[in-house]
Structure 1
Amino acid sequence: MKNKIAVHAKHIELLALDVDGVLTDGSLYYGLDGETIKKFHVHDGAGIKAVLENGIKVVVISSRETQIVSNRMNELGVLDVLQGITDKLSTLNDFIEKIGIELNAVAYMGDDIADLSIMQNVGLAITVKDGQEVVKQNAHYCTMAKGGHGAVREVCNLLLMGR
């Protein structure tokens, strides 16, 4: 399965990522002042940097909106962070039209029902080990790692193997 994905990966120009449940374990921590805190895995960050260095663009598309996500992605060199999104597919379509990429050149990682519309339309649909069952049924690949525990790095490695 990994080899099949790696072969398909050579056509991928954009890695689009959900945040909660993919880049994080899906947990939300709240401070006394209501601030949301999220935990990111350093291996995922290293993978994102590696794909960027190898010419694969990265965009984050999330239904939630927090400054901490913008800060982390900026630290990694991800300039396109789209938050507070209710229609992820329309947002992705607008984004790829702007940068001149087709849907079949997009790999998308999601974990929940809100991600299905994108996953059913991109070239490479990926979910995490602990993704929702219906999402797994619609994915080309399911990671061995859980969301927030190196799953993004696993996918980045596969994309780079296909280069």
Structure 2
Amino acid sequence: MNPHTSKPPLDPARWAHIRLFAMDVDGILTDGTVYISSDGTESKAFSVLDGLGIARVRDAGIALAWISGRYSGATTRRAEELAIRHLVQGRKDKENALRDLATHLGLSADQVCYMGDDDIDAPALRWAAIGVSVPTAMPEALEAADYVTTLPAGRGAVREICNHLLRTRSASAVS
């Protein structure tokens, strides 16, 4: 068992304050596998469970962003399908990309949730009000994360966070 999954749950008020849910792509929205054919075409597997969660979060008025360290046509295509308005590719400086986007949207760090799985995600995980990772993440990301999902990357981890954001948002609207 991953020792980081035993971190205490976060205060629901922190979750309810989130206005931007940004995430890495490979290793978060996918299991981290990239298929490259001999002709150079690339494919990835994205979870439809995650996709529905993303659509629900978007419809609830939370901004969404994907920040990837590499360019990918498959990522672009999936982002188009899910109407992801903020797609940043080819940026390995995830914290700066996230800060730039938050500034552009008029948001502060305490309104941002970031989800990542690798050492290049760790600064963004620390900067955001809520940093989320997955059980199979690299040690630097796990250490930087406030919350580690129970579900694996590419198999419902993003949906887990979407559901949490929606539950806490609904609960705070009722209070």
**TM-score scaled to structure 1, two decimals?**
0.95
Are 1:126 and 2:132 matched, yes or no?
yes
More deviation in 94-103 or 45-54?
94-103
Task: Answer whether contact 1:6 1:161 (CA < 8 A) is retained.
Answer: no
- The structure with the largest alpha-carbon Rg is 2
Amino acid paired to 1:88: K
> Aligned-pair distance for 1:5?
5.0
> Aligned-pair distance for 1:68?
1.1
More deviation in 42-51 or 86-95?
86-95
Distance in 1 of aligned mates of 2:155 and 2:11: 20
Pairing of 1:1-163 with structure 2 (within 5 A)? 1-2=8-9, 4-163=10-169
Amino acid paired to 1:57: A
Distance in 2 of aligned mates of 1:116 and 1:102: 18
> Aligned-pair distance for 1:26?
0.3
Please give the per-residue CA displacement for 1:86-142, whole angstroms capped at 9, x wherever unaligned.
Answer: 211111111111111111110000001010110111100000121112321221110
> Aligned-pair distance for 1:7?
3.4
Residue segments in structure 1 that go unaligned for 5+ positions in a row:
none
> Aligned-pair distance for 1:154?
0.2
Amino acid paired to 2:78: R
Percent of aligned positions that are identical: 37
Stretches (4+) displaced over 6 A: none
Residue number in structure 1 paired with 2:3: none
Amino acid paired to 2:134: V
Aligned length: 162
Task: Answer whether contact 2:119 2:139 (CA < 8 A) is retained.
Answer: no
Distance in 2 of aligned mates of 1:117 and 1:72: 26
Name the SS of the counterpart of 2:159 in structure 1: helix
> Aligned-pair distance for 1:6?
3.6
Residue number in structure 1 paired with 2:173: none
Task: Answer whether contact 2:29 2:50 (CA < 8 A) is retained.
Answer: yes
Give the RMSD, CA atoms, in angstroms: 1.1
Task: Answer whether contact 2:123 2:144 (CA < 8 A) is retained.
Answer: no
**TM-score scaled to structure 2, two decimals?**
0.89
Amino acid paired to 2:32: G
Task: Answer whether contact 1:6 1:159 (CA < 8 A) is retained.
Answer: no
Residue segments in structure 2 that go unaligned for 5+ positions in a row:
1-7, 170-175
